[in-house]
Amino acid sequence: MTFFTFYGSIESMKRDIYTNLVKWKNSSRRKPLIFQGARQVGKTYILKEFGKNEYQNTAYFNFEEDSTLNDFFKGKLNPVKIIKKLSIYLEKEILPEKTLIIFDEIQNSPETLTSLKYFNENANQFHVATAGSLLGIKVGQSAPFPVGKVNFLNLYPFTFGEYLDGINKSRIRQFLNSITTLEPIEEGFHNELIEALKMYYFVGGMPEAILQYKKDENLEEVRTVQKEILSAYAMDFSKHAKKPDAIKSTNTWNSIPVQLAKENKKFMFSELSKNARNRDYNESIRWLVDAGLVYQCFNIKTPRLPLSGYKKNNIFKLYLLDTGLLGAMLELSYKTVVKGNQLFSEYNGAFTENYVAQELIANNHGELYYWSSNSIAEVDFIIHYDGYVYPLEVKSGVSTKKKSLKIYGNKYNVPILARSTLMNFKQDGRICNYPLYAISHFPKISMIK
């Protein structure tokens, strides 16, 4: 995987998605790329480094910084003529296949978004990659979306594995990635990974926070970075949403840490206001989801495929995109990091469940679901993988309790029941234990044979 300099630092960091960008470049079905993700997860930088490393040159255009760029996309959308004008404007030759064209903050130019259809149909020899922090919110609002004419990639905050690479622990990550069975690993490696995971809970996966931690390991400065990111997000609420929706989005966003800190983490509208109802907040929740700031996990009636056909739209949990930001919103003291494994169980295990949700999303498990049965049992995540449904119960410590899993297993007679805890790898009959640091392996190394 290619290393690259991050945010002007002399130190090297890398992202797993880089490999997917290379695959996109070389794909026989390559179309203009829409590169999505929340603000400040590193989309622009990765695209620029990808262009620098893999192309002869890069032509970068930011539609938020330079509103005059919109003029080149007025009237008839002829890609070849547009490229000629952009070449003159940039004073740089834009070459088919040899130049990576980056349209950044494209949500500010609906016509440019529409033009991707014509780049695909009439000028696909030009390699076009677009990015936009609020693209999921803006698309289709004032111009047709190029349905079927674009490829998509999503970038999330650093996963735990990427974080290990980012803090110069690539060897332990390689060891972790090499595991193919549920046999326990050496206690030395297990303990090292637990310690690294604990720090990841605090630092989180936002690139700037990781870079700050890597610089001097000053957790107070890391927290300062996180709060600045949260302030930027708050400004987005008021800038990009209508006033009533902005207020609701802000209230919803601010309530999530408190909701996750409860023992029952189901999203309660009563936490927003006494008379709040699902229908009143649908738009604000959708705004946060589309902005990539939260992940929605729906309750399902029964774990059958397709899972989406059995979800209850009005019963769900909301997780933040990043545990580090969750800690900042909860004002978690940095001193908690040094208090044994206390951090894992803080706020009723809120960080652990949020962390697992992040990892599942980043590992392409799609929409999240959970299962409950009349307040008797609850399984935290239900995952569809390779044609099967897998239950996953999450524990913040080393508890061996498995009441909910057993109730689920007896009710549905499933061959694999999974837990994720602070314990080492282990398989006891049909119950498989994944250490929290290895949740990226779920459910691949216990797949139903």
What is the helix (H) or strand (E) element at residue 18, kind and residue range?
helix 17-26
Q: Closest by alpha carbon to 58, among 5, 105, 99? A: 99
Strands 431-435 and 388-394 turn out to be: unpaired
- pLDDT on residue 333: 87
Helix (H) / strand (E) containing 247: helix 243-260
Written as six digits, the tokens of 130 are 């677009």
Residue with tokens 């699902």: 278
Cα–Cα dist 120/112, whole Å: 13
Half-sphere exposure at residue 415, Cβ-oriented, CA atoms within 13 angstroms: 6
Integer Cα distance of 405 and 393 in angstroms:
7
pLDDT at res. 6 = 39
Q: How many residues does the chain have?
A: 449
Residue 291 CA to residue 294 CA, distance in Å, equals 8
pLDDT of 176 reads 97
Answer for the pair 3, 12: CB distance below 8 angstroms, yes or no.
yes
Strand (E) positions, 269-362?
294-300, 311-320
Nearest Cα residue to 369 out of 440, 263, 286, 295: 295
| pLDDT of 351 above 70 | yes
C-beta separation of 322 from 206 below 8 A: yes
Candidate from 136-145, 192-201, 415-424 with smallest mean pLDDT: 136-145
Residue 448 confidence (pLDDT) above 60 = no
Per-residue pLDDT reduced to its tens digit, 54-81:
999 999 999 999 999 999 999 899 999 9
Q: Hey, what are 132's tokens?
A: 């936009």
Q: By percentage, how much of the chain surpasses pLDDT 90?
A: 72
User: So where are the chain's domains?
Assistant: 4-154, 160-446
- Rg over alpha carbons for the chain, rounded to the nearest Å, is 23
Query: Model-level pTM greater than 0.85?
Result: yes
Structure tokens at 219: 């957790």
pLDDT surpassing 90 at residue 254: yes
Residue with tokens 């691949």, as numbered in its chain: 444
Rounded to the nearest 10 degrees, how much is the dihedral formed by the CA atoms of 352, 358, 360, 364?
-170
Phi, psi dihedral angles at 130 (to 5 degrees): -120, 155
Q: Tokens 């951090």: give the residue.
A: 343
pLDDT range class, residue 445, cuts 50, 70, 90: confident
Homologous superfamily assigned to 4-154:
P-loop containing nucleotide triphosphate hydrolases (3.40.50.300)
- Is the separation of the CB atoms in 434 and 418 below 8 Å? yes
